[in-house]
Amino acid sequence: MKARTLACFTVLLWLTGCNGGEEPTETERVGGVAQPESDAAPAASEPAAPAVEPLSEPVWIDASASLRGDRRLMVEGETNLPEGARLLIVVERELSGVRWQARTAVEEGRFNAGPLGSGSGLPDGGYTIHVTLPAASVQPDAVRARIGEEGEHLSGPLVTTSRHGLGQIVDYSQRYLIGSEPRRTNDRVEVLEVE
């Protein structure tokens, strides 16, 4: 029994001696297996993306419409909304409530849409043109970063709350009268004549 204990003790000393008496440190172990040391520098972390500045000034939109020879409307305008912001342009005939719409995006501070109206042209009468920035949830990531996940960075008189509870949106509207004999009105309205 003494010989057996002595043999086990000798084997244990021999095993310890082969290892140099040092246990690998935690940084040298990967999955419980000792790894060789490396002279390579640790990998540099990727630089963080630059922070996007939220929209801080009040939103403004300046839109205008022109009536083409085929009596359909072209809408164009300028805005301070972020580049790539998706807009919805709607032309509504006041008398019947019929609507024509187009989607567009802000490019270099400008937008345009059209021609809008029926193929036979717009009859004389009153029309309202709406330019809307829909909810942030349908906007590109870069636009959401500027206006906020629920439009919380939007401000100014054109900003309103979405009917669907999706945060703040932007809604601009302007009335137009089409025809050579505009009605008498006290409202702020622009008259477009056929070219």
Mean pLDDT of 156-175: 92
The residues near 151 (Cβ < 8 Å, ≥ 6 apart) are: 135, 136, 159, 162, 167, 168, 169
Same domain? 8 vs 67 = no
**Residue 109 and residue 10: Cα distance in Å, rounded?**
84
Q: Are residues 22 and 74 in the same domain?
A: no
- pTM as predicted: 0.67
Q: Is residue 104 part of a domain?
A: yes
Whether residue 68 sits in one domain with residue 24? no
Domain count, the chain: 2
When comparing pLDDT for 30 and 146, which is higher? 146
At residue 170, the pLDDT reads 95
Q: Is residue 115 part of a domain?
A: yes
Q: Is residue 55 situated within a structural domain?
A: no
In the structure, what pLDDT confidence band is assigned to residue 172 with cuts at 50, 70 and 90? very high
Is residue 47 assigned to a domain? no
**Is residue 126 assigned to a domain?**
yes
pLDDT tier at 166, thresholds 50, 70, 90: confident
Q: Does 112 fall in a domain?
A: yes
74 and 24, same domain (yes or no): no
Sign of CA dihedral 141, 146, 147, 150: positive
> Is 172 within 8 Å of 166 (Cβ atoms)?
no
| Range 34-63 average pLDDT | 69
176: closest CA among 116, 124, 120, 115?
124
pLDDT, residue 181, reads 52
Could you tell me which of 118, 104, 93 has the C-alpha nearest to residue 175? 93
Same domain, 26 and 92: no
Q: Is residue 142 part of a domain?
A: yes
* 103-113 residue pLDDT tens: 999 999 999 99
Give residue 10's domain range.
2-33
| Residue at 18 is within a domain | yes
Residues 100 and 142 in one domain: yes
- Residue 180 confidence (pLDDT): 62
Whether 122 and 82 map to the same domain: the answer is yes
Question: What is the Cα–Cα distance from 162 to 165, expressed in whole angstroms?
Answer: 5
Question: 187 and 143, same structural domain?
Answer: yes
89 with 154, same domain: the answer is yes
Confidence at residue 195, expressed as pLDDT on a 0 to 100 scale: 46
